[in-house]
Structure 1
Amino acid sequence: MDNEPRQRVDPAGRSPLHYAALEDDPGAIARLLAEGALPDVVDRPGFTPLHLAAQEFAHTAAASLLDAGARVDAENVFGNTPLWVAVFNSKGRGELIGLLRSHAADPLHVNASGQTPVGLARLIGNYDVVQYFQDIPE
């Protein structure tokens, strides 16, 4: 899906903005956005740059994308939002979870498997991820 004008994409449908997010490179993100990149461009499985920033816990990239208007609750083909991806990859770290929640990410967004970010946090046993959702009743 090439929905990013004037930008090249690789065979997976990833644009330079996706890779800048993966590398936590706010300078490249700013340049690409100034050149017309769309903050919500999706690759073939529907991952936006914000999903990839959440995957890599790339806080600076995520903040840059959110400031540029990236949709905080964009869904990939699995129905997962960037918050779900951040919870899954957090290893107990909460900075990115907090950033997404401060931008109104929905902790109760149900994915294609019927799971929510807060539900996933409650299932993770080897890290205390649920601490970032203390305000959500069980």
Structure 2
Amino acid sequence: MRMTVQTDYALRVLMQLAVTGEQRTIDEIAQAYGISRNHVMKVVQRLATLGLVHSQRGRNGGLRLARPADEINVGALVRQMEDTSQFVECFDSGTNHCVVTPACGLKHALSGAVEQFLVHLDRFTVADLVRKPVDFGQLLGEENLAL
């Protein structure tokens, strides 16, 4: 399974906020990872809608986690960010045009694989993804880390 760039960036944003424990701006996050500011902005809007980050506008604004990193489940995040119901054409009976669907076992095999992928991710929180906060923070150019 391949996750979208949005999910990848969402995880990166959450990990950076978990390591710093402080507010960060969209520009700071984009610069630290060397990614597009516009992509980060779209991801942050989605994370705010999902209740995972607090966003404050204005001169002293920025982003911070809406709850502790050890309470943000990776599997749940991926389910919220990804549309796994469209993994292959036959997953959606409304748009499926594959002629072998009635006799094919691919849908069953793939749906089980996708579910196991998500179940595996359910074992992790954002805090688990940054087990070495000093190393992680240093790679992002962070000086003040939440340890």
TM exceeds 0.5? no
- Choose between structure 1 and 2: higher helix proportion: 2
Structure whose alpha-carbon radius of gyration is higher: 2
- Choose between structure 1 and 2: higher strand proportion: 2
